[in-house]
Each structure stands twice: as C-alpha cells, then as structure tokens.
Structure 1
Amino acid sequence: MQKIRKGDKVVVLTGKDKGQAGEVLQVMPKEDRAVVRGINVVKRHQRQTQTQEAGIISKEASIHLSNLSIIDADGKPTRVGFKVVDGKKVRFAKRSGDVIDG
C-alpha cells in the first residue's frame, strides 16, 4: 500500500516548483515517482505521428515521491500514516488525524 495515490492533491516540498500544488495523474511505485498535473513541466521535441503533429510540446515529467506531500483539510502539507479502521487498512493525515480514504 502506497502513501500517495492517483487523484490525491499534493504540494511540492522542494525543487523548482516548490510550494505549488496539483493532482496526481500517475504513480510509478517501482521507480518511487509520480506525475502531477502542472508540475515539473518540460518541453519535448515531438516527431509527427498519425495522431499528433510534429513540434515542441510541453508535458509533465515525473517527480520523486519524497518531494511530494499530501495536502491536509486545512490546505497545508501533512505526512501520511496507516491504521486499521473496521478491519480495513486506511491512510490518515498525521497533522489532523483525519482519514484520507475510507
């Protein structure tokens, strides 16, 4: 079970996008990385395909999970813990104690 999942609202803790928030689009657990909407945007030269034109496109690159933190109910970053509620393992925000998914 991972602490950051697809659909979570996260904030960047360090790097060029420090302080910016976004939604997780994809998580790559084997590489410990995630793609976040609007974060770590890079320009790539794209070769023309049947569906896409050639040119320089901007897209989100992955960012390491250690540089991300989930946003708590009050809008501030929080760490994530696990506990068992009604026989189910759930994530909770260590800052407020609120259950993130239940």
Structure 2
Amino acid sequence: MKKSIETVTKFRTGDEVVVIAGKDIGKKGTVQKISKFNNKAIISGVNMMKKHTKPNPQLGETGGIVEKEAAINLSNVAIWNPKKKKADRISFQMDGDKKLRVYSSDKKEIKS
C-alpha cells in the first residue's frame, strides 16, 4: 500500500502572486487552486494554453479552441507585497497559540 506524500505549501487560494521564473515572468495573478501532491498551482491569467474541444450537443457545448490556465510549479511564483510593490517571501510568526503568515521583508501579516 502506497502512502500519499502531502507537501505543505505557504500559499493559499486567493493570494496575489507574481511569476519569478519561466515564460510568463513578471505577470501577476491570484491563486485559484493548489495541488499539494504535485506542488503546482493554477493562477488566473498565467501560463495560458489552448485546448481543442469537441462539440457535445447533449450538454450544449460548442466545439473549438478554448484558452485556459495550466498549472505552474510553486517554486516559480512568489507572493506579491503591495506595500513594497515587489515579490516577497513568506515566513511564519507565532502570536500566542496562533501561527501567522508574514512577509519576510517587513514582518507584516499577510491578509488572505
């Protein structure tokens, strides 16, 4: 029996991120979905691909070429710090018994 290895990600859905490596370097978007098992995320407006779809008259779908977002590796994105207006890293701080996500550069809490 195989065990599923789940990695812990510092990103959450709704976070605003910027691409720091790859063909879409410099683009900003929000995280829509995170796959913890293969360490990838779907970010709105980033890593667009074209998918050819067949028409399905039973569901009322028309065929054609659809453009949609593909998954991007989490190592290629960084969180966007709106105060500093640049990419930043995420660190954690303990506030009593609560664990807070903070920006590494100015130690301000990340609002998600």
Q: TM-score with structure 2 length normalisation?
A: 0.85
Residue 77, structure 1, aligned to residue 84, structure 2: no
Distance in 2 separating the partners of 1:75 and 1:88? 27
Distance in 2 separating the partners of 1:69 and 1:35? 14
Deviation at 1:51, TM superposition (A): 4.1
Q: Which amino acid counterpart does residue 43 of structure 1 have in structure 2?
A: K
Distance in 2 separating the partners of 1:34 and 1:51? 29
**Greater Cα shift, 43-52 or 16-25:** 43-52
Residue of structure 2 equivalent to 1:87: 97
CA radius of gyration, larger in: 2
Could you list the structure 1 runs, at least 4 aligned residues long, displaced by more than 6 angstroms after superposition. Answer: none
Distance in 2 separating the partners of 1:35 and 1:45? 19
Q: What do the CA deviations read for 1:33-92 (whole angstroms, capped 9, x no partner)? A: 000000000000012231421110000000000000001132210111112113111111
Give the CA RMSD over aligned residues.
1.4
Q: Which amino acid counterpart does residue 96 of structure 1 have in structure 2?
A: D
Q: How many residues end up aligned between the 2 structures?
A: 102
Listed as ranges, the gaps of 5+ residues in structure 1 are none
Residue 38, structure 1, aligned to residue 39, structure 2: no
